[in-house]
Amino acid sequence: MPNTSGYPFCSNCGRPSAPSSITMPQHNPFETGTAGSFSDFNEKRIANTQKGFLLLIVGFVLQWIPIVQYIAFIISLVGAILVILGREAFGDRHSTFVVVAVLLYIVGFLAEAGLAVSFADSLAGAFSSGVTSNTAAFVESEFATLLWGSLAVSIILALSTLILPYTLESDTGRALLWATLAVQIVISLVVIVVIGPEVSHAVSAALASSPPNLKPLVNLEGSLNTLRLLGAIPSFMLAGAYYIVWKRIAEGEIPSPLHLPAS
């Protein structure tokens, strides 16, 4: 008599019956991970972005304090790196904006360094070859190039800081970013208007004696650095705009919930 299905022993001899079939665990050969592991990795990128914006805020606030400005630069650099590492958690558009912002910053940084080196080299060459009737006009021209070049560089750098958080901002944050850019341009123009007329006087005073007395030019650079402290205004405005992004991430407002594949 055949064994009754579902009983573990044979009804005739009492021996354990063999299973009629073996069920093998199913495995998708194309599956590379689970929804849980992907979610954990995404949460890490979100956390990196949040920490990055917090560090950038600290950097913006501290960079105008002479004693700690280099520390502030390092803090901002670390913050920017964290934002770069976490960019993909917030979508392709934000990721693209971050890359563009980084490229703009690199261009602005190199342009600023090039301006400084070119200006110093031009002044050294002008005075090393002796003072002539054309020296004053040449130095004034170089100062003008430095000032207008600095305006262009400041706009490039301001655009990079505007683009970086733009897709993550609320309407208020975006308005604050554009206002920051406008203030930055106005301050740069004020520096040019104030310093420009002083250039001719400083150059004339420097070349009035032989050898040239560079003290008036050094004082002019000091005045320029003092006016640059006005840059603290847009810097604090940026800190406010970036705080809005940080708060939105902390409260879970962004990024929007991801639709993960079923596990």
CATH code of the domain containing 190: 1.20.120
Is residue 226 in some structural domain? yes
Give the pLDDT confidence score for residue 37 in this predicted structure.
64
Assessment of whether the complete model's pTM goes beyond 0.85:
no
Residue 184 counted as domain residue: yes
Residue 68 lies in a domain: no
User: What is the pLDDT, as a whole number, of residue 82?
Assistant: 97
Q: In terms of residue numbers, what domain contains 235?
A: 91-250
pLDDT at res. 262:
39
Q: What gap in Å lies between CA 102 and CA 110, rounded to an integer? A: 12
234 within domain boundaries: yes
- The parts of the chain modelled with pLDDT lower than 50 are 27, 29-32, 259-263
Structural domain count, the chain: 1
The three-class DSSP label of residue 16 is strand
pLDDT of residue 135: 76
pLDDT given for residue 13 in this prediction: 60
Answer yes or no: is 222 within a domain: yes
Whether residue 107 lies inside any domain: the answer is yes
Residue 85 burial by Cβ neighbours in a 10 Å radius (0-12, 13-18, 19+):
middle
Cβ atoms within 10 A of the Cβ of 161, count?
Answer: 26
The pLDDT of residue 207: 74
In a domain, 17, yes or no: no
The answer to whether 99 and 59 are in contact (CB under 8 A) is: no
Residue 168, in any domain of the structure? yes
- What tokens were used for 221? 């650079």
